Amino acid sequence: MADLTENDAALVARLLEIIASEGLVNRDKLALSAEVEDIGLELDDLTLIGNAIEREFDCDMLPDEEMQACTTVRQLVALIGRRLQERAADQSERAP
């Protein structure tokens, strides 16, 4: 996640806010290098995080094997960001 654009940095910040809020994690402990297990995120938390992302970004974000395999916050944010980018690309391809 080096060399983030301003939009990327804003997205990462917003995703971290959602993860903290929905996962009931202290935002100060939510460093990108933090281990998902160490901050206490479980499958139920990933479901709540996914639901919040779906509401905000209108993008399916159900916790699946790939999301459950994320061991760090960085991996989780990167996966969510990639899925949001893929959705945006799909929508632009469908636009007339």
Per the domain annotation, does 28 fall within a domain? Answer: yes
Q: Which residue is listed with tokens 């509401």?
A: 55
**End-to-end Cα, the chain, rounded Å:** 32
Per the domain annotation, does 72 fall within a domain? Answer: yes
**Quick one: pLDDT at residue 92?**
73
Per the domain annotation, does 37 fall within a domain? Answer: yes
Per the domain annotation, does 12 fall within a domain? Answer: yes
**Quick one: pLDDT at residue 6?**
60
Q: How confident is the model at residue 68 (pLDDT cuts 50, 70, 90)?
A: confident
**Quick one: pLDDT at residue 2?**
44
Domain span holding position 63: 7-94
**Nearest by Cα to 48 from 21, 67, 87:** 21
Per the domain annotation, does 22 fall within a domain? Answer: yes
**Quick one: pLDDT at residue 7?**
65
**Quick one: pLDDT at residue 21?**
94
pLDDT in tens, 73-86: 999 999 988 888 88
pTM of the model: 0.81
Per the domain annotation, does 1 fall within a domain? Answer: no
Per the domain annotation, does 62 fall within a domain? Answer: yes
pLDDT in tens, 1-35: 444 456 688 888 999 999 999 999 988 878 889 99
